[in-house]
Amino acid sequence: MTSPQGALDRRLAELLAEDVGPGDVTTEWTVPESARARGTLVANSPCVVSGLPVARRAFALLDPDLAWNDEAPAGTRAEPGSALARMEGRARALLTAERLALNLLQRMCGIATATRCYVDAVAGTGCRILDTRKTAPGLRVFDRMAVADGGGSNHRAGLFDMVLIKDNHRRLAGGVGAAIREARRRAPAAMRIEAEVESEEELREAVAAGADVVLIDNQTPHTVAAWSAIARQAPRPPVIEASGGITIARVRAYAEAGADCVSVGALTHSVEAADISLDLEVSAA
């Protein structure tokens, strides 16, 4: 079984191969093989820190003897001009891995920053902010790490670790109740079953069928409040999740309406990358 570190290294190696191809011709033709460099990763925009371990591994795959010091713990806020990490190693390795490391670091800090904004917006309500599967293909593991660093919670990792019955499932299964019952018959005892509902009738049907989580999609906070009250009358009330067009301006209204959690696709599908640079200079070491 592949370890989490092994899986991360394999993904980073694939991404490096995409960028480097047969070789980094600029670096190989201009920088002496023996050259060494030291560098600093610098935040040029305010951000919540995420992704430094990923960036470090990107460099270390090309230079196993890399020296690295984190200057900003994950989840902390960094101001413009602040150092995130310092490194020293083979100059060619640092140059070749630079773009991949920065791409991932900038994306992850951007996701963590957006997540923190949503988390702060619902502070004191007990509502959790969730990510979704609306991630960049191939980058989900990094996107989920960034959401967690920003104070959010991870939803299902993929199609394999949780049942989530949505509109097309309902139609093809013959209704939300039928879909839940069939999923319950097949699912392991510990696997949660969530069902999306779009009407009060579907809500009552999902609760009666024993859904663990009810996803109220594309409804107003007023409707979320009314439907949450209905669902919580059940002997085993489901978790209430709200989703659909949630913005930073509206998220607290959904939390105050009674949603236990709010899923926000914009955290990962509409990323505004943080501005981070790598400043390198010759090292005599």
Q: Would you please indicate which residues are annotated as catalytic (active-site) residues?
A: 99, 134, 166, 196, 217
Which residue, among 99, 134, 139, 128, has the nearest Cα to 8 in the 3D structure?
139
Q: In angstroms, rounded to a whole number, what is the distance separating the alpha carbons of residues 132 and 269?
A: 9
Q: In angstroms, rounded to a whole number, what is the distance separating the alpha carbons of residues 93 and 89?
A: 7
Q: Looking up tokens 């090292």, which residue turns up?
A: 283
List CB contacts of 204: < 8 A, sequence separation 6 or more: 230
Pairing of strands 47-48, 77-78: antiparallel
Q: Where does the chain have alpha helices with state H? A: 4-20, 25-30, 52-60, 91-121, 140-149, 167-173, 176-186, 200-208, 221-231, 251-256, 266-269
Amino acid at 188: P
Kindly tell me the burial class for residue 212, based on how many C-beta atoms sit within 10 Å of its own C-beta (0-12, 13-18, 19 or more).
middle
